[in-house]
C-alpha cells in the first residue's frame, strides 16, 4: 500500500513539473534505469523467495510403511540411507558418505513419496524443488539458485536443530541434461556445472550433512558427469508394481473408505496390470465418487470395475453413434471377446459399446498373471485377438471399417517383435540390416496365418457371435461371467 501511494505522488510530481515547463527527460531516464535494476534484482532474488517460502520441512508423518508395492526400491534406498543414519559406524569403517541417490522409473510410481519418507527416516530437513525452477533466460540465475538451495537446506537444518538435510530435485533431467545440446547460450550448462560443484563440496565432517535425492523417468537424458561415483552414487529403480504390490497399494488407498462385503482387492489388483501407484489412487477415488453419485454409503465391487474403465479409457461420452455404427461396434467387440476366450478361457473382463475417450467401444482383458516374457504362441494369440474384430465385421456385415486401424498397427508391432526376438522362420536376424522386402514377407506371413485361423474359428461360432451382438446392443455391456455363460450354453 505504501509503495502504491509513493508511486502515485511521484508520478503526480513529475506530471506537475512537466506542465510547469521543467525538463523532465532526465527524471524519466533515471526512473527507467531504476526500474530495470529493480526488475533484475527481483528476478535474481526469486530463488530466496522460492526456497525460503517454499519450505524446508520435516516429514515425520510419512514413513516407508505408507508406501506400498515398492519393497525392493525401499530396501535398496534404506540401505543407502543407513550410511547417513549410522554416521558413527560409517566413520569408524572409513566409508565415504553417499552424496546423491537417483530414483528412476515411470511417472506415478512413488518417487516423491520415497524421498519424503527418506527425510523422515534419516531425521533430516527436507527441501523439495523441480528441475524447471532453475532454468531462466538470464545468465547466472540458475547457478545462483543452486547455491541458494544448498544454503537454504543447511540453514533450515540448523534452525530446527538437525544434523542432516535432504534436498529432493524432481524432473532432474531438465537441470542435469547432457551439456552442449543448447547452442543459444550456456545457461543450462552453467546451472549443471554449479550443481556438480556443490555436490563435490559435500563433506562428511560438515556441520550439516546434505544428501541430494533426485527423480527422473528419462535417465538417458542425464549428463554422464552426474552419474559417476561421487555424485549420484546409487540408482534406485522404482518400477510399476506387480500384483502383490498392487494389492498393498489398493489397501493403503482404501483404508479410509467404507467397502462393501463383495469387494475383492485381489480381483481388482488382477484387473489393473500396468497401473502405477497414482493410477490406483485415482481408481479408489473414482470408485468412491461413483458410490457417492448413487447416494450409497459403501463402495461395491461394481464401482471399482467401472472405475477401472474410467481410469483406462476416460469418462463416458454423451455422443452416440448411429444405429448402423453401433451394430458394427458391437460386432467388432464381440469378435475380440470370442477370440480372447478361445485362446485363453476366462480372460475377458467386460465388453461394451458405451463410448469412452477416443473409443466407441472396447473389450477389456484380465491378465491371468503379470507376464514379462512371451513365447511365440502367446504373441500369436495376441495377434489373433487383435485381428478378430475386423474379421468379425467382414463375416457378419460383409466389409471391414477404419475402426480396426489401431488393431492392425498393434498386430504389425507384435509380428515385428516376433521377428526381432528370433522366433520367426528367419531365425536370429539383425533388424537393422534385414532387407525390408524380407521383413515385409515375414510380417505378412505371420499376419496371414492368424487371419486364416481367426476366420475359421469365427465361422464355426457365427450364431453365438450374432447372439452376443444382440445382447450387447440391448444391454450395452456384458461382463466376463455373463459372456462365458453364453459360450457354455451356446445360446443367443
pLDDT at 325: 87
Active site residue 474: no
pLDDT at 254: 93
Question: DSSP assignment, residue 130?
Answer: E
Q: Whose grid coordinates read 470408485?
A: 287
Co-location of 477 and 386 in the same domain: yes
Q: How many CA atoms lie within 13 A of 174 on its CB side?
A: 13
pLDDT at 56: 42
pLDDT at 4: 53
Last residue of a domain, one of 289, 313, 337: 313
Number of domains in the chain: 3
Contacts of 45 (CB under 8 A, 6+ apart): none
Co-location of 161 and 200 in the same domain: yes
Q: Following DSSP, what letter does each residue of 71-86 receive, concatenated?
A: HHHHHHHHHHHHHHHT
Full domain range(s) for residue 292:
243-313
Q: How far apart are CA 195 and CA 395, in angstroms?
A: 64
CA distances 2 to 8, 37, 218, Å, are 10, 20, 48
CA distances 318 to 315, 354, 357, 360, 367, Å, are 10, 10, 11, 11, 30
pLDDT at 387: 95
pLDDT at 187: 62
Residue 47 lies in a domain: no
CB 211 within 8 A of CB 122: yes
Co-location of 65 and 88 in the same domain: yes
Residue 289 lies in a domain: yes
pLDDT at 174: 81
| The CA-based dihedral angle spanning residues 166, 217, 129, 66, taken in that order and rounded to the nearest 10 degrees | -60
Residue 91 lies in a domain: yes
Q: Collapsing DSSP states into helix, strand and coil, what is residue 306?
A: helix
CATH number of the domain that 393 lies in?
Answer: 1.20.58.760
Q: How far apart are CA 315 and CA 267, in angstroms?
A: 22
Q: How far apart are CA 72 and CA 75, in angstroms?
A: 5
CATH number of the domain that 153 lies in?
Answer: 3.40.50.300
Co-location of 128 and 221 in the same domain: yes
Q: Which residues of 313-322 are buried (b: 16+ CB within 10 A; e: fewer)?
A: beeeeeeeee
pLDDT at 69: 84
Q: How far apart are CA 246 and CA 70, in angstroms?
A: 10
Q: How far apart are CA 348 and CA 479, in angstroms?
A: 8
Co-location of 335 and 443 in the same domain: yes
Last residue of a domain, one of 313, 345, 368: 313
Co-location of 275 and 222 in the same domain: no
Residue 205 lies in a domain: yes
pLDDT at 58: 44
- Measured from the Cβ of residue 233, the count of other Cβ atoms closer than 10 Å reads 17
Residue 100 lies in a domain: yes
Residue 157 lies in a domain: yes
Co-location of 79 and 131 in the same domain: yes
What averages of pLDDT result for each successive group of 10 residues across the chain (492 residues)? Answer: 56 62 65 59 40 42 81 85 75 78 89 84 83 66 84 88 86 80 62 84 78 88 85 87 90 92 90 88 93 93 88 73 87 94 90 80 76 87 95 93 91 94 91 90 95 95 92 89 86 42
Co-location of 149 and 289 in the same domain: no
Co-location of 376 and 469 in the same domain: yes
Last residue of a domain, one of 313, 338, 358: 313
The H or E element that residue 16 is part of is: helix 2-19
Co-location of 142 and 230 in the same domain: yes
Give the active site residue among 198, 271, 286, 333. Answer: 333
Residue 20 lies in a domain: no
pLDDT at 48: 37
pTM score above 0.75 = no
Q: Whose grid coordinates read 530437513?
A: 125
The three cell numbers of residue 218 are: 528419462
- Measured from the Cβ of residue 227, the count of other Cβ atoms closer than 10 Å reads 15
Co-location of 333 and 410 in the same domain: yes
Co-location of 293 and 156 in the same domain: no
100-104 sheet: strands from edge to edge? 56-57, 124-130, 164-170, 209-216, 100-104, 234-237
Residue 340 lies in a domain: yes
Task: Write phi, then psi, for 237 (nearest 5 degrees).
Answer: -85, 125
Q: Whose grid coordinates read 538435510?
A: 165
pLDDT at 35: 61
Amino acid at each position: 500500500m505504501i509503495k502504491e501511494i509513493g508511486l502515485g505522488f511521484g508520478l503526480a510530481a513529475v506530471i506537475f513539473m512537466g506542465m510547469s515547463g521543467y525538463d523532465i527527460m532526465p527524471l524519466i531516464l533515471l526512473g527507467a534505469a531504476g526500474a530495470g535494476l529493480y526488475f533484475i534484482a527481483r528476478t535474481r532474488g526469486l530463488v530466496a523467495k522460492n526456497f525460503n517460502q517454499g519450505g524446508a520441512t520435516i516429514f515425520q508423518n510419512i514413513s516407508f510403511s505408507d508406501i506400498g508395492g515398492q519393497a525392493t526400491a525401499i530396501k535398496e534406498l534404506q540401505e543407502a540411507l543407513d550410511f547417513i543414519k549410522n554416521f558413527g559406524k560409517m566413520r569408524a569403517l572409513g566409508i565415504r558418505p553417499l552424496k546423491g541417490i537417483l530414483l528412476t522409473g515411470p511417472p506415478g510410481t512413488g518417487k516423491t513419496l520415497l524421498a519424503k519418507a527418506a527425510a523422515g527416516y534419516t531425521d533430516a530437513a527436507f527441501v523439495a524443488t523441480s528441475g524447471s525452477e532453475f532454468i531462466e533466460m538470464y545468465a547466472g540465475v540458475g547457478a545462483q539458485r543452486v547455491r541458494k538451495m544448498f544454503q537454504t537446506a543447511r540453514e533450515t537444518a540448523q534452525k530446527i536443530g538437525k544434523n542432516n538435510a535432504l534436498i529432493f530435485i524432481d524432473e532432474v533431467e531438465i537441470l542435469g541434461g547432457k551439456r552442449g545440446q543448447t547452442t543459444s547460450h550456456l545457461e543450462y550448462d552453467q546451472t549443471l556445472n554449479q550443481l556438480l560443484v556443490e555436490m563435490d563440496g559435500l563433506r562428511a565432517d560438515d556441520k550439516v550433512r546434505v544428501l541430494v535425492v533426485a527423480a527422473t523417468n528419462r535417465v538417458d537424458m542425464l549428463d554422464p558427469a552426474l552419474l559417476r561415483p561421487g555424485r549420484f552414487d546409487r540408482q534406485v529403480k522404482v518400477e510399476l508394481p506387480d500384483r502383490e504390490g498392487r494389492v498393498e497399494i489398493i489397501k493403503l488407498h482404501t483404508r479410509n473408505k467404507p467397502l462393501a462385503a463383495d469387494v475383492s482387492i485381489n480381483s481388482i489388483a488382477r484387473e489393473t496390470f500396468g497401473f502405477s501407484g497414482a493410477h490406483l489412487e485415482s481408481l479408489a477415488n473414482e470408485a468412491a465418487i461413483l458410490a457417492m453419485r448413487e447416494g450409497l454409503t459403501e463402495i461395491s465391487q461394481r464401482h471399482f470395475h467401472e472405475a477401472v474403465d474410467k481410469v483406462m479409457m476416460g469418462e463416458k461420452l454423451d455422443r452416440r453413434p448411429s444405429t448402423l455404427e453401433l451394430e458394427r461396434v458391437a460386432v467388432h467387440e464381440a469378435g475380440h471377446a470370442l477370440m480372447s476366450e478361445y485362446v485363453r478361457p476366462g480372460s475377458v473382463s467386460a465388453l461394451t459399446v458405451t463410448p469412452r475417450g477416443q473409443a466407441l467401444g472396447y473389450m477389456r482383458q484380465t491378465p491371468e498373471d503379470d507376464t514379462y516374457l512371451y513365447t511365440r504362441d502367446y504373441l500369436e494369440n495376441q495377434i489373433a485377438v487383435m485381428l478378430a474384430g475386423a474379421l468379425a465385421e467382414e463375416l457378419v456385415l460383409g466389409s471391414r471399417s477404419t475402426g480396426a486401424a489401431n488393431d492392425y498397427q498393434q498386430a504389425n508391432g507384435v509380428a515385428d517383435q516376433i521377428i526381432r526376438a528370433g522366433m520367426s522362420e528367419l531365425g536370429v536376424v539383425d533388424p537393422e540390416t534385414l532387407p525390408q522386402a524380407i521383413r515385409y514377407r515375414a510380417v505378412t506371413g505371420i499376419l496371414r496365418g492368424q487371419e486364416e485361423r481367426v476366420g475359421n474359428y469365427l465361422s464355426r461360432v457365427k450364431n453365438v457371435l450374432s447372439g452376443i451382438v444382440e445382447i450387447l446392443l440391448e444391454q450395452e455391456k456384458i461382463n466376463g461371467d455373463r459372456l462365458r455363460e453364453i459360450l457354455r450354453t451356446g445360446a443367443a
